[in-house]
Structure 1
């Protein structure tokens, strides 16, 4: 049992929480008469060295931070009583209820309020991620986010301006905090709360995007009133049905925040805030391609599409030009003959009509025959969350399937195939092969440059999170 007064300064008021070897106490600072929060780590039978490491890291991190929405570091000391010995971390007290307490008390949040909470927390995370080294909270959840009551003055001001003031938002409990520097070359303790912890954290890995997952899961809790661990999942993704009316953009943003795959999730709080404020601008659609490239890549967090245009030799281009010129002038002469034979007249007017008619016929040929009939047929591979497709495309439309679609989760291998030299291509060349179960999806890339082939392979490898082998 901890004494009623610690360090002859902090008078214990009540216990706020208790866990194995740890306590959180509300106390009054007898020097300033202000309420403070004291975290206690006791060297009891339940003591573990990892607890000491996390406790010391929390104290060091709080001491280095200065943000109005984060508790202030006040004191850190050892204490000893006849029955116990331990460490104490003193921080400022914030008079506010947690989001978990608000929801449990029956409060419902609308989309505008949840949006405000998201922006305020992202601003806190931006501050943490901009530290050197970046700070990762690792345990963002409803009970660690406080929402203060709206003050009468601010409530009145918001009513006059029709703004709807929500109240101040705070991020607390840095007991699981980690810096990227602390992770290098050391064993990482697995911490977090199930349902709010991203998959990579189960393996002891935490990056700035890990906190975004926790924030997204917390907001899903506000939207549904159900803890994410109790919601159904599909391919590790949280499936949620909002109990309130929210926009499709906000739903997609929450899905983006809680992507189980790190490569598909938003990476930083800066980008997450931009995506929340301007959702359409934040999603890359078309990957910039080099000039004269025969490869077009379009990707988003939900799909990847690669279109490979066919190779047209210089000889075929010259042949098309000569054929077009011949048929164009043939149409002109045929028009003159047709007009003269039809109207049985031979003057300048008939010649003008004939030339006009022939010119129109030539244009129709150029537009219809050359642009449509001889339009190149391209190869298109598309991979979304459900399936992989390999099709032959003509004028942007699917001409036919080169392979039947396969489930996205069946994709297991990505590799180069090195083809032997042939008479038409004396140098060895590579094609790209995607395996989905026993189904092969082969991209013929023999007419592409090595740079174009590597670009396709790199985009596939990154999006699928698969290495490419030979």
Structure 2
């Protein structure tokens, strides 16, 4: 099995027994509780063995994501090449959030309490894990090891299932699962900022896992800098484009994610066609359609205030049926005055 060098100016493969790259002499071993090495990912290519990368407009590499192995299991290794303090701060936030979520999850298991699935961080020394490249000048990089979540992201899942539209029952269940994960993130005063179908993994046992915490921002930071702007076409709200993301920004992205799942069309494609997305759905109740529209309101103030109110609405949808469905089931027979008054009082 070839072992890859992470030096962005090298990227050469080496044999398994080597500890340093035979081309540039960079270290090939990453210590994170155990020794890990970069391996080829079927997502990458021979020339580009990494899974993903971020670059500046001038081509300078900021970070890359690789698959790594300790000999028995495959993990995800994220490497930060940039020394810019903005990117360093984002990198440390990602580690901090994942670490805190993992600690809460372990504590919940001890107390036999449920906790949403999040990428696990293996036993680690601390965030200061670094490798020095032995080039013309020493280059220090930070790296973060985390669990590889097996499964398909929701875009891959849709494409492998002939772009099948999800049912309302499935959509309600999935939305609840993601909201429970997101609630834990918001409780720790973070905003995810990059929710879209490719960042949600459906595991073989049908769990949903929200991934990619590299763009999280603490809510106490009122304004993002230009360097930390996050933009996913069709899923990013206007306030986030203006670098002023809030909790409700995640709701907007979640709403458009479910537009894609319910219609099979990318939100931007629907916008370009100037089509009402509701007309592209099948057998979805008016109440659930209204809920999705509520999540993706353009104005922050018109979106839900918090996750609890969204979950309350979902529970009501799951436990009962909306009035229009009830009327259809009863052949649109008029209700009596007493029942009408009772309904009005409850609505009020």
Q: TM-score, normalised by structure 1?
A: 0.50
State whether structure 2 residue 75 is matched by structure 1 residue 18: no
User: Counterpart of 1:272?
Assistant: 310
State the structure with bigger RCO (CA 8 A, min sep 6), 1 or 2.
2
TM-aligned CA deviation for residue 85 of structure 1? 3.6
2:224, 2:244 within 8 Å by CA — same for their partners in 1? no
Assess, with a 3 A threshold, how the Cα gap between structure 1 residues 79 and 204 changes in structure 2: closer, same or farther.
same
2:263, 2:277 within 8 Å by CA — same for their partners in 1? no
TM-aligned CA deviation for residue 129 of structure 1? 1.9
TM-aligned CA deviation for residue 111 of structure 1? 1.9
Which of 37, 41, 44 is the aligned partner of 2:80? 41
Residues 149-208 of structure 1 show CA distances to partners (whole Å, capped at 9, x for unaligned) of 23xxxxxxxxxxxxxxxx101011001101112x14874732131211111111111111
1:98, 1:145 within 8 Å by CA — same for their partners in 2? yes
User: Counterpart of 1:180?
Assistant: 219
- Which is richer in strand? 1
Where does structure 1 lack aligned partners over 5 or more consecutive residues? 151-166, 282-470
Assess, with a 3 A threshold, how the Cα gap between structure 1 residues 238 and 42 changes in structure 2: closer, same or farther.
farther
1:231, 1:240 within 8 Å by CA — same for their partners in 2? no
Secondary structure, counterpart of 1:146 in structure 2: strand
Which of 72, 78, 97 is the aligned partner of 2:120? 72
Which of 67, 88, 91 is the aligned partner of 1:52? 88
TM-aligned CA deviation for residue 136 of structure 1? 0.9
Cα distance in 1 for partners of 2:148, 2:277 equals 36
User: Counterpart of 2:279?
Assistant: 241
Cα distance in 1 for partners of 2:235, 2:151 equals 22
User: Counterpart of 2:29?
Assistant: 5
TM-aligned CA deviation for residue 72 of structure 1? 1.9
Cα distance in 1 for partners of 2:191, 2:223 equals 17
Secondary structure, counterpart of 1:256 in structure 2: helix
Aligned-residue CA RMSD in angstroms?
2.7
Which of 97, 115, 126 is the aligned partner of 1:61? 97
State whether structure 2 residue 180 is matched by structure 1 residue 123: yes
Residues 361-412 of structure 1 show CA distances to partners (whole Å, capped at 9, x for unaligned) of xxxxxxxxxxxxxxxxxxxxxxxxxxxxxxxxxxxxxxxxxxxxxxxxxxxx
TM-aligned CA deviation for residue 73 of structure 1? 2.5
TM-aligned CA deviation for residue 125 of structure 1? 1.4
Cα distance in 2 for partners of 1:60, 1:136 equals 13
Assess, with a 3 A threshold, how the Cα gap between structure 1 residues 226 and 141 changes in structure 2: closer, same or farther.
same
1:140, 1:196 within 8 Å by CA — same for their partners in 2? yes
1:122, 1:270 within 8 Å by CA — same for their partners in 2? no
Matches within 5 A, 1:69-468: 69-74=117-122, 75=124, 76=127, 77-83=129-135, 85-105=140-160, 106-108=162-164, 109-131=166-188, 134-150=189-205, 167-181=206-220, 183-184=221-222, 187=225, 189-232=228-271, 239-278=277-316
TM-aligned CA deviation for residue 12 of structure 1? 1.6
Where does structure 2 lack aligned partners over 5 or more consecutive residues? 7-26, 41-49, 56-60, 106-115, 320-348
Give runs of ≥4 in structure 1 deviating > 6 Å: none
